[in-house]
Structures are given as C-alpha cells and as structure tokens.
Amino acid sequence: MTLPNLLLFFMLITVVVLVASPRLIHSLLALCIFSALLTLQYVFLKAPDVAITEAALGAGLSTLVYLTAIRKTADKTTQQQPDIDLNQHEPQEEPRMIALQEYLTPDNIHLLTAKKRDQIIQEILQHCLHDKDPAFVQRVTHDVLSQKRSASPMDMNLGKGFALVHARHDACEEVRFAVGLLPEPRNLYRGDKIHTIIGIVLPSSQSRQYLAFLAKFGRLMYAPEAPPLFEETGKLLAAGENEMAKTKLAAFVQTFEEA
C-alpha cells in the first residue's frame, strides 16, 4: 500500500471517530488529526500552498476556535453546577442533529450595507434580533464589541472569507441566526478579505447545538465551491437579484446536506 493510500485509510478512521465519539474533545482531536493528514496529502499532490493553508486554518485556527468554545462551555457548566444539583429532576436539553437548512434559509440571508467593522457587527446582530427591544440589541452589541481585543473575542475571522459574530444571552429563548453578505470582500480582520459574516445569539442552554452548528458549518465553508458562491451571492444581492441569490445559495446548502 502506497503512503498516500495509507493516509487515506487513516483519514477514514479519523472521520469515523469524529462522528461516533460521544465527547466533543475527542471529536476535536480527530478533526485536528484529519486536517494534519489532509495537509500531507496536499504535499504528495504537489500543492504546497494549499497544504500550508490547510495546516494553518484547518489544523491550527479551526482547532483553536473549537477548543476555546469547548473550554468556555465547560467553564460555564462548572459555574452553574450548584444550580443543576438543586434542580436535578428538571429535564435536560437533548442534543439533536444539526441541519444547516434550518439556519441558512432565505429569510436569514441579508445584504450588509454598513461600511465600518463595528457598524457591520451591529447590523448583523440587528438581523439576528430583529424582533427584540432596541435597548437589548444595543446591550448585546456592546458586549460583543467590548471583547474584540480580548484573548477570546466574540467576533473573529474564520478563514476562507468567513467571519463569526456570536453572543450568549439568556434573554434569548432560542438560537438566533443570520447570514450577512457584503457587496464586495473587505479587509475587516487580519487575514483573508471577508465576504460573509455569520451572526449567532443564543442562550447558555443551547451551547451544544451551537458547537454542533460550528462543526458542520466549518465543513461547509471548506467545500471548494462555498467561498466563491457566498461571495457571488453578496454581489447578486447588491445588484437587486434577491430571489436568484437566495435560491442559489439555499440549493447549494441542500446539495451539501444530501451529500
């Protein structure tokens, strides 16, 4: 068996572990190993530039983002443990399979018209919380912006032209989600130009669903056709082709889910 084929065999094993593992940290480790093996595959395919990108973003940045999310979720759970003990008979949230089609719907896709980064963050959060009191939206926006220079910012560049803006607030009874598309890619963060911003506001009880969504969306954004399609959708929205743009993007998400 040649070395590239051997790598493919081990990649298959890591995928099985990633999906079947009951613990998030084990799944994250499997994902990191998968990215490292994929980097070696790109080297054998004589694509060093792609290999460097995969190593930096797949095995590096993505792992750091998920590890930070898992750590913060674990800290939150530890702090709330006394309350859980006192209410141990209350029903617990059961994790469920994430379907991207539930989130990437035409109603959740918006064109972002603001120019500055802080204004764009406020705009995407307004789309997430469109039916909430403006004072509450302002408070959530302030919380996000106040942490943008911290070690664990609530807005970040995910790579491939995608950025994430997220916040936890128990005043939200369910996950609030919005996809913000820019008319043209822009330098909002260090690294790649941004064409798409994912906005999520959720209660603490939905942390597992949030991590599951991030894991699945991470696979979608690394699909070769995803970045150019999201970028094209932003341009179509800016040109007034709303229905065509949203239909095309929804069809891509459906195809990805079925695959």
Dump the DSSP string for 186-204: E--SSSSPEEEEEEEEE-G
pLDDT for residue 12: 80
Q: Which tens digit of pLDDT belongs to each residue from 61-101?
A: 777 777 777 776 655 444 444 443 434 444 444 444 567 88
Q: Angle at CA 179, nearest 5°, toward 176 and 183?
A: 150
pLDDT for residue 89: 41
In angstroms, the CA 233 to CA 184 distance is 10
In angstroms, the CA 33 to CA 63 distance is 10
Amino acid identity, residue 207? S
Non-local (6+) Cβ contacts of 240 within 8 A are none
In angstroms, the CA 251 to CA 189 distance is 29
Homologous superfamily (CATH) of 100-259 is: Mannitol-specific EII; Chain A (3.40.930.10)
In angstroms, the CA 161 to CA 254 distance is 21
Q: What angle in degrees, to the nearest 10, is found between the helix axes of 242-258 and 226-238?
A: 160
DSSP three-state, residue 133 = coil
The terminus-to-terminus CA distance of the chain in angstroms comes to: 28
DSSP three-state, residue 151 = coil
Residues of the chain with pLDDT under 70: 1, 4, 18, 72-98, 148-152
Burial class (CB in 10 A: 0-12, 13-18, 19+), 42: middle
Q: Which tens digit of pLDDT belongs to each residue from 236-259?
A: 999 999 988 888 888 898 888 887
- As annotated, the residues of the chain forming the CATH 1.20.120.1200 domain(s) are 1-81
Burial class (CB in 10 A: 0-12, 13-18, 19+), 166: buried
CA distances for 143 relative to 21, 155, 187, 191, angstroms: 34, 11, 23, 24
pLDDT for residue 92: 43
CATH number given to 1-81: 1.20.120.1200
CB environment 121-139: b (16+ within 10 A), e (fewer):
bbbbbbbbbeebeeeebee
- As annotated, the residues of the chain forming the CATH 3.40.930.10 domain(s) are 100-259
pLDDT for residue 88: 43
Residue 200 near residue 176 (C-beta atoms within 8 A): yes
